[in-house]
Structure 1
Amino acid sequence: MSTSEKVFIIGPGFIGWNVLDLLIEEGYTVSSLITIHTATISHLPSVSSVLTGLHHRASTDQPIISIHTSGPSVLDSLSPSVHKPPLIYTSTSSSPITASPLQPCTAIDLTIIRVRRLAHTHQIAIMIPPGFKARHKRLTIQIPTITRFALQRGWVGHVGKGLGVESQIHVLDLARAYIVLLHHMEVSSPTVFQANPCFFCENGKEFSWKEVAEEVGRALEARGLIADAQPREFGRGD
């Protein structure tokens, strides 16, 4: 644990408030020596503010730790879900970020990587969460969107053949991963994160979007909300 035990967290929402709970349990207080950014992944102004602060502190001897939250779209193969993508990313390089220039969070992630290489005394890491679930029936946006579409149209659908896969994790486990990463950064040299600052956290299980559609269909049919649970492909007009 850091001797300062002080953290500044941005975006205490779906992910952030769970991280905040764990930080409070461990006795951390508010400061800018440790920054955890869990706000909207493509919100450049807040990220720029954090990077500006890091730049200003570059001339000081105070250790700075920053964890930025990216989005799982940096791992998107951009395929039309007609098959399970064969590409498997590893933790040995930041290639997922550099390989997906069309994703909205990629430019921000690359900016963070460039700043990290300039600020040799600071530790900067990027957390890449997958789809996640939580208490109080809260989910990431995709599954509720599929469900609302099914309720409006009377049938449940998926893109293409629905064979694209998504990793998953419970948001409380994701919050614990932030704490594990933070503790690792507190006792590590900044050079440890120079080669690759990216961390992907998931529970080892994948689901296809066809499986999601099938499960949504079964649940809605069982409640009498749609007549047919069998999913079908979305059309261009949908």
Structure 2
Amino acid sequence: MPSVFLLGPGLIGGEVLDNLLQEKTYDVTTLVRRKSAEDAFHQLGVRTVPGTLDDKPIITEQAAASDIIFHTATADHLPSVEAILDGIRERTKRGQETIYIHTSGASLLGDGAQGSYKSDVIFDDDKPSGIDQLPDSAAHREIDLAIVNAQKELSPHAKFAIMIPPVIYGVSTREKRLSIQLPTMVRYSIKHGYAGMIGKGLSVWNQVHVKDLARGYLTLLHWLERTSSSEVVKNPYFFCENGQELSWEECAAEIGRILQQASKVTDPTPKTIPPQNYSDLFGEYSGLVIGSNARNRANLLRKLGWQPREKNTFASLLEDEIPLILQETGEFHGYAAAVASGTFEGQT
């Protein structure tokens, strides 16, 4: 039974974990930050390793002992990626093969539109040259490049893939976790009493439900398992989108409509968020994360038979995410965790 090491059993990783367990053909271990969470994983039949993303020796040791590695915790933590790669190097020295699937994000593609226009640029994952031409300083790119360069070094014993999700929406099955971008816009709108957007909100992103995304990871895994490393090394990039593109203005308008029904705003009309309020969003990365264009096409996963199945973004906001957010207590002060990296001037 192949051994799997999963970093980040949260929104994405939790759904990937459930899919792995349903197949009953993998021996799964996950990195657990809180000891109180260990029992729940043990009841699922999942082994746990206590530690954080900064515990490089622990991650390296577990990666060296695992046939398959998923990193779904964050797109912006280089030390944990370096630790994984060190573990894979140990496996390579022993002649063992490894599959590594890393999670990046579509902020990688983001421009400096700040909501002012809809871009004509569309990235296709069956044309990797478009991604390779992005500046090294683009969001997430430093981490992605570490993986791309390591694959050249470690092939043919290692097969690497980088999943690049768009706007993720939906609620996780077991822990009822929410995604980042749209829930932050909802919380901002509740706090400030209007549906907020960056600039004119004209920029667009693709969308994917977290459960469709998780199935995309399994589709990708099975392709890596049966495909030669000489084929895999040609293109590490995979998008996963459901065919729906939405502007940030459309998202804000729908948030406003739902919140008006809930008596949280009086006027559903979207309004521009002043830069001094970006601290209640994503700080310096607000314009990139919810104001840029990041258009892409998941051609490769579709060719492998993957198709989206879940409800669309607005149905999910109405039926799933916003009802949970309305139950939250305590004052909101923006999204605190890292959401992007890089210093590409056009993105910030």
Gap change, CA 1:48 and 1:98, over 3 Å in 2: farther
User: Tell me, what secondary structure is at the counterpart of 2:267?
Assistant: coil
**From 23, 26, 29, the counterpart of 1:26:** 23
User: Tell me, what secondary structure is at the counterpart of 1:112?
Assistant: helix
* Identity within the alignment, %: 41
Structure 1: distance between partners of 2:177 and 2:259: 18
**From 140, 160, 180, the counterpart of 1:141:** 180
Q: What residue number does 2:14 align with?
A: 17
Indicate yes or no: 2:101 matched with 1:67.
Answer: yes
Structure 1: distance between partners of 2:141 and 2:91: 25
* Gapped regions of structure 2 (runs ≥ 5): 29-64, 278-348
Count of aligned positions: 235
**From 152, 155, 159, the counterpart of 1:123:** 159
User: Tell me, what secondary structure is at the counterpart of 1:230?
Assistant: coil
Q: What residue number does 2:142 align with?
A: 107
Structure 2: distance between partners of 1:41 and 1:169: 17
Q: What residue number does 2:5 align with?
A: 8
Q: What residue number does 1:222 align with?
A: 261
Structure 2: distance between partners of 1:125 and 1:54: 14
Structure 2: distance between partners of 1:51 and 1:98: 24
* Gapped regions of structure 1 (runs ≥ 5): none
Richer in helix (by share)? 2
Q: Which amino acid aligns with 2:260?
A: E
**Could you tell me whether the CA contact under 8 Å between 1:94 and 1:197 is conserved in 2?**
no
**From 238, 241, 245, the counterpart of 1:202:** 241
Distance apart, 1:159 and its partner CA? 0.9
User: Tell me, what secondary structure is at the counterpart of 2:162?
Assistant: strand
Answer with 40-49 or 101-110: which moved more: 101-110
Q: Which amino acid aligns with 1:223?
A: A
Gap change, CA 1:182 and 1:203, over 3 Å in 2: same
**Could you tell me whether the CA contact under 8 Å between 1:97 and 1:109 is conserved in 2?**
no
Indicate yes or no: 2:111 matched with 1:77.
Answer: yes
Indicate yes or no: 2:189 matched with 1:192.
Answer: no
Structure 1: distance between partners of 2:69 and 2:187: 36
**Could you tell me whether the CA contact under 8 Å between 2:169 and 2:182 is conserved in 1?**
no
Structure 2: distance between partners of 1:129 and 1:209: 17
TM-score normalised per structure 2: 0.64
**Could you tell me whether the CA contact under 8 Å between 2:197 and 2:249 is conserved in 1?**
yes
Distance apart, 1:182 and its partner CA? 0.6
Distance apart, 1:100 and its partner CA? 4.3
**Could you tell me whether the CA contact under 8 Å between 1:165 and 1:206 is conserved in 2?**
yes
User: Tell me, what secondary structure is at the counterpart of 1:237?
Assistant: helix
**Could you tell me whether the CA contact under 8 Å between 1:132 and 1:139 is conserved in 2?**
no
Gap change, CA 1:100 and 1:156, over 3 Å in 2: farther
Distance apart, 1:172 and its partner CA? 1.1
Per-residue deviation, residues 106-162 of structure 1 (Å, max 9, x unmatched): 100011000001111210110111111223664321222222222222212211110
Answer with 122-131 or 102-111: which moved more: 102-111
